[in-house]
Structure 1
Amino acid sequence: MATFWDLKHWLTDAINMHDIRGILSCYSPNAVYVTPSGVAEGHEQIAWMYQQFFTAFPDFHVTAWFELGDCENPAVTEWTYTGTHKGPFLLPDGREIEGTGRHIALRATCSTFVRDDKIVTHREYFDQLELYSQLGFGLTKIEHR
């Protein structure tokens, strides 16, 4: 039987390999993935959310730098996202931003709840303003072209 932390580490490895099948193997079929940009329910939507990041940031990588060691469920991790914005990035309002070539280094944390050896809820937290600022947008309005 895998521990909560084993599962979390497998998820991290699959994310860093951009392995959608490996990512989904960590989630229960009806899992919920909550991010600042939206909520995904079930494997199809969860795969779509990850694919959006992998498309926008082909070198997307997560590095864990703190794990709350005395906590098992939820498994809490703080990490850094890094990547280079090369592909279209979907905004919450449905618009896409074409690749800017800018590099991001974004602080994030997540809480992962596990039941029956699968993730049932994964809550990801990061500052969208920090992300948009690193992409060169900040609080300015993006004009349609």
Structure 2
Amino acid sequence: MTEARAVVTRLVAAINDHDLEAAMRCYTPAAAAVGPQGVADGVEEIAFYHTHMWEAFPDLHMTVWETVAEGDLVVLEATVAGTHSGPFLLPGGEPLEPSGKSISVRYCWTFTVEADVIVAQRVYYDQLEMYSQLGAHMEPDDPGTRGQ
């Protein structure tokens, strides 16, 4: 197993264990994470993201289907599943109150690893797939601009 792949494997285990300390040891202090929900700069913001997901989905679990590692780049395809039992922030910062609904969403994560820590993380998933499973509705910021 490559060094980069081993770091990502440790991160996935920490995410599935909901072990914030172990997860944060996988990142450099200046790491950046980018996803549909925005940019998290530094381990404090990345820690907030993980904590928020665990609070919203206390039984959150990631199943990795495929991992490809080449040099300092690791790409994994996974399914993230859980039950919506806590507040979940929607785009714009509105909390979606617990619905008790389950999600199973396909994710693709890319990681850049240097010196045995993650320096950059990018996550791609279909937000509409997740929000539909939660019963949430995505609305444009300004409904008056539809069709223009």
What is the TM-score normalised by the length of structure 1? 0.91
- Say if 1:38 and 1:92, in contact at 8 Å, map to a contact too: no
- The correspondence of residues 14-93 of structure 1 with structure 2, limited to 5 A, is 14-68=14-68, 71-93=70-92
- Say if 1:112 and 1:122, in contact at 8 Å, map to a contact too: yes
- C-alpha separation between the residues in 2 aligned to 1:12 and 1:55? 17
1:81 is matched by which residue type in structure 2?
Answer: V
In structure 2, runs of 5+ residues without a counterpart are 141-148
Q: Which has the larger radius of gyration?
A: 2
Q: After TM superposition, give the deviation of residue 20 of structure 1 in Å.
A: 0.8
- The correspondence of residues 124-143 of structure 1 with structure 2, limited to 5 A, is 124-139=123-138
- C-alpha separation between the residues in 2 aligned to 1:104 and 1:46? 22
- C-alpha separation between the residues in 1 aligned to 2:138 and 2:6? 39
- C-alpha separation between the residues in 1 aligned to 2:128 and 2:52? 18
Identity, % of aligned positions: 42
Q: After TM superposition, give the deviation of residue 139 of structure 1 in Å.
A: 4.0
What is the TM-score normalised by the length of structure 2? 0.89
Task: Say whether residues 1:119 and 2:118 are aligned partners.
Answer: yes
Counterpart of 1:103 in structure 2 is 102
- C-alpha separation between the residues in 2 aligned to 1:138 and 1:74? 35
- Compared CA separation, residues 7 and 94, structure 1 to 2 (3 A): same
1:11 is matched by which residue type in structure 2?
Answer: L
1:87-120 per-residue CA deviation (whole Å, 9 max, x = no partner) reads 0001120110111000000000011001111100
Counterpart of 2:4 in structure 1 is 4
CA RMSD in angstroms, aligned pairs only: 1.4
- C-alpha separation between the residues in 1 aligned to 2:68 and 2:115? 21
Number of residues of Structure 1 aligned to a counterpart in Structure 2: 139
